[in-house]
Amino acid sequence: MDTTYASSAVKALPDAPVLSILINHPPFASMERKKRPRNDRRLAELSIILKRCFEKTIMLQNYARSVIEVTVTILSFDGGLLATCCNSITLALIDAGISLYDYVTAVTVGIYDQTALLDLNSLEEADLSFITIGVVGDSDKLNLILCEDRLPLDRVERLISLGIEGCHRLKQLMNETVREVGTDLLSKKQ
């Protein structure tokens, strides 16, 4: 965590919580095993995007004078980095007991010829145009959208609607899993 940022934020608003998201990417996590600098620009951009996404979703008023620090370590990278980080942070915050307005789910959506593809891997991301879409709960409210390639404007609406459907299905799966784990933990406690 950047202590200068945390201390300046605390000085500016003494009761405001501070959310810090850090992404680590060791060299063995991807196919190309090159050493990355500690201050990798791409990972810093993703951290800022995720921080902005979750500042809107976490009930920050419940955590005055607190620092919520999230560290994501990528152990295996095969595409969908931003979407995977978003989904894992959502589950980690729920597991830690941090109050959220609703789940934030994210997917990558790409286009090949006339066909829309959901949840691309790294080879598909390298060759195709794609966008990453994040949705809050069961609504159609986009909390995250990132397009780093050129996309035909007439197909963007179809890609966004497919991404929203994928996010809703993913939210159902995450909710079922969270409930199963919660039920197991509750039964072990009794």
> What's the alpha-carbon Rg for the chain, to the nearest Å?
18
Q: What is the CATH number of the domain that holds 25?
A: 3.30.230.70
User: Residue 164 — very low, low, confident or very high, per pLDDT cuts 50/70/90?
Assistant: very high
Rounded (5°) CA angle 117-121-127: 75
Q: What is the pLDDT of residues 43-83, one digit of tens each?
A: 899 999 999 999 999 998 899 889 999 999 999 888 889 99
- Domain membership flag for residue 84: yes
CB-based contact 143:114 (threshold 8 Å) = no
Residue 189 belongs to some domain of the structure: no
Please state the pTM of the whole predicted model: 0.87
Max Cα–Cα distance, the chain, nearest Å: 56
Q: How many CB atoms lie within 10 A of CB 132?
A: 24
Query: Is the Cβ–Cβ distance between 86 and 105 less than 8 Å?
Result: yes
Give the chain's domain count.
Answer: 1
Which token pair is 9? 């934020």
Residue at 187 is within a domain: no
User: What is the average per-residue pLDDT within 77-103?
Assistant: 94
Residue 41 belongs to what domain range? 3-180
Integer Cα distance of 76 and 65 in angstroms: 35
In a domain, residue 186? The reply is no
88 in Cβ contact with 72 (< 8 Å): yes
pLDDT of residue 13: 63
